[in-house]
Structure 1
């Protein structure tokens, strides 16, 4: 809650959804199903996550700022439950969004009347590079 602490609480709030993220409700249900199926409802880390969820949904600070648990809060719990290493979470989050990103790109390119501008990147690097096999390094 201290803006000067330099600490960000990830997994709460969403820049587009100014209320509860509708995807988060579905992921919350999936999260609970996964934890139950895997017998992890009482794992200390998962119990802590559920306590944080309860606080965020009831605490005036979070509620007044509309900082509800978002889809990544729950998907992060699911990823840990199924054994995905924490360093891979960001890659998995990005992978899950790839279809949407490609759909947006196709929509933008395919309609010359399209008015919503989205940032683009133009690759200026080498088209092909020689890469040594791992066992030859």
Structure 2
């Protein structure tokens, strides 16, 4: 009897509107609706929210388009992050200092998983890059050096 009551309670919690996650279907890449990214990302960056809201609790998926020669200086995120590269070659470097000579290349189909609070930087070279970022909110970008935050110069 106690197990049955616990199961019913668990089912009620899982179907609660506050915890509900709706199905999302994106029929193809062209269906993603891009707009200028927040000021905390370099100028010219485009972003499409595919699922969820990264500023709120719960899962999210974003598509990002970086133009050529874009640098996102060393930063961290308060939650785990995954990157999946769709097109182009993204350079990725771990650490609190930007060393563009040391960054690893991650090409189309490549994947990067970053635990919360791990400092890293990304940049593009001569071609644009499109990638997907997934994680759980609330999620944000915290620059290691606050002077690197592009929103401070807009």
Q: Same fold (TM over 0.5)?
A: no
Question: Which structure shows the bigger proportion of residues in strand conformation?
Answer: 2
Question: Which structure shows the bigger proportion of residues in helix conformation?
Answer: 1
Q: Which has the larger radius of gyration?
A: 1
User: How would you bin the TM-score normalised by the shorter chain?
Assistant: under 0.3
User: Normalising to structure 2: TM-score of the pair?
Assistant: 0.22
